[in-house]
Structure 1
Amino acid sequence: MGCCHSGLESKEAVSRCKARRRYMRQLSEGRRAFAAAHSLYLHFLRSTGAVLLQFADSEAHLQKDSPSPAPPPRARPLPPSPPPQPPPERTRGEKEKRLSLLRRQEANGVEYLKIEKNKRDIERLESKLMVYCQAIESTSSEIIRLRESELFPQLLDLVNGLMCMWRSMYECHQVQTHIVQQLQYLNNPSSTIPTSDLHRETTLQLEAEVERWHSSFCRLVTSQRDYINAVTGWLRLSPFQYHHNPLDKTYRNPEVYALCEEWHLAVDRVPDKVASEGIKSFLTVIHAVVVQQAEEQKQKKISESVFKELEKRSKELRSCYGDHSSRSPVMEKKAKVDALKTRAEEERIKHQKSCGITRAMTLNNLQTGFPNVFQAMTGFASICVQAFGSVCNRQVSLNRVVGLDRRLT
Structure 2
Amino acid sequence: ASESIRKDYDRKCHQLRHQFAKDQGTQVIDKTRAVVKDLHSRITVAIYSVDSISKRIEKMRDEELYPQLLELTDGLVRMWKAMLECHHAQYITISLAYHSRNTTGTMQGDARREIITRLLEEIELFGLSFANWINSHTSYVEALNGWLQHCILQPRERSRSRRPFSPRRALAPPIFVLCRDWCAGIKSLPSEELSDAIRNFLSDLHTLMEQENDELLKKQNSTQASMLESEVKANEDNGGESANLSCMHASLSKVLDRLTKFSEASLKMYEDIRQKSEVARTAYYNCKTIRA
* The two structures share one fold, judged by TM-score above 0.5: yes
1:391 equivalent in alignment to 2:273: yes
Alignment of 1:59-138 (within 5 A): 86=1, 88-108=2-22, 110-138=24-52
User: Where does residue 232 of structure 1 map in the other structure?
Assistant: 145
CA distance in 1, matches of 2:108, 2:143: 54
Checking the alignment, whether the CA contact within 8 Å between 2:73 and 2:270 is kept in structure 1 is yes
How far apart are the structure 2 equivalents of 1:398 and 1:118? 52
Match for residue 117 of structure 2 among 182, 186, 204: 204
Summarize the alignment of residues 312-331 of structure 1 with structure 2, pairs less than 5 Å apart. none
The match for 2:165 is: none
Contact 1:190 1:356 survives alignment (8 Å): no
The answer on whether the counterparts of 1:228 and 1:264 sit within 8 Å (CA) in structure 2 is yes
1:16-49 Cα shifts (integer Å, max 9, x gaps): xxxxxxxxxxxxxxxxxxxxxxxxxxxxxxxxxx
Q: In structure 1, what is the Cα distance between the partners aligned to 2:104 and 2:62? A: 65
Change over 3 Å in CA distance of 1:400–1:117 after alignment to 2: closer
Alpha-carbon offset, residue 153 of structure 1 = 0.9
| 1:144 and 1:239 in contact (8 A); partners too | no
Q: Which residue of 2 aligns with 1:243?
A: none
How do 1:176-187 residues align onto structure 2 when only pairs under 5 Å count? 176-182=90-96, 183-187=98-102
Q: 2:99 matched to 1:217?
A: no
Whole-Å separation in 1 of the counterparts to 2:254 and 2:126: 15
What does residue 291 of structure 1 align with? 210
Which of 142, 158, 172 lines up with 2:72 in the alignment? 158
Q: Does 1:302 align with 2:221?
A: yes
- CA deviation after TM superposition for structure 1 residue 187, in Å: 4.2
TM-score, normalised to structure 1, is 0.58
Computing the radius of gyration from Cα coordinates, the structure with the larger value is: 1
Letter matched to residue 177 of structure 1: Y
Unpaired runs of 5+ residues, structure 2, are: 154-168
Separation of aligned partners in 2, 1:204 and 1:113: 91
How many Å separate the matches in 2 of 1:133 and 1:401? 30
Residue 365, structure 1, aligned to residue 247, structure 2: yes
Query: Once the two structures are superposed, what CA deviation does each residue of 1:214-245 show, in whole Å capped at 9, x if it has no partner?
Result: 232233233333333333343344148xxxxx
Matched, 1:274 2:193: yes
Query: Aligned pair 1:174/2:76, yes or no?
Result: no
Identical-residue share of aligned pairs (%): 23
8 Å CA contact retained: 1:278, 1:372: yes
Question: Aligned residues, how many?
Answer: 272
Matched residues in 1 for 2:215 and 2:196: separation?
29
Shift of 1:119: 2.6
1:289–1:358: 8 Å Cα contact kept in structure 2? no
For 1:361 and 1:231, the matched residues in 2 are separated by: 49
Per the TM alignment, residue 145 of structure 1 is displaced from its structure 2 partner at its CA by 0.7
Cα shift at 1:403: 5.6
When the two structures are superposed, what TM-score results if normalisation uses the length of structure 2?
0.78
How big is each residue's C-alpha offset from its partner over 1:165-185, in whole Å with a ceiling of 9 and x where there is no partner?
A: 111111111221121112222
Q: How far apart in 2 are the matches of 1:118 and 1:232?
A: 45
Amino acid at match of 1:394: K
Aligned Cα root-mean-square deviation (Å): 3.3
CA deviation vs aligned residue, 1:249-291 (integer Å, no higher than 9, x gap): x954342122223323432432222222222222122112211
For 1:212, the aligned partner's letter is L
CA–CA separation in structure 2 for the residues paired with 1:400 and 1:115:
56
Residues 354/93 of structure 1: CA separation in 2 closer, same or farther (3 Å cut): farther
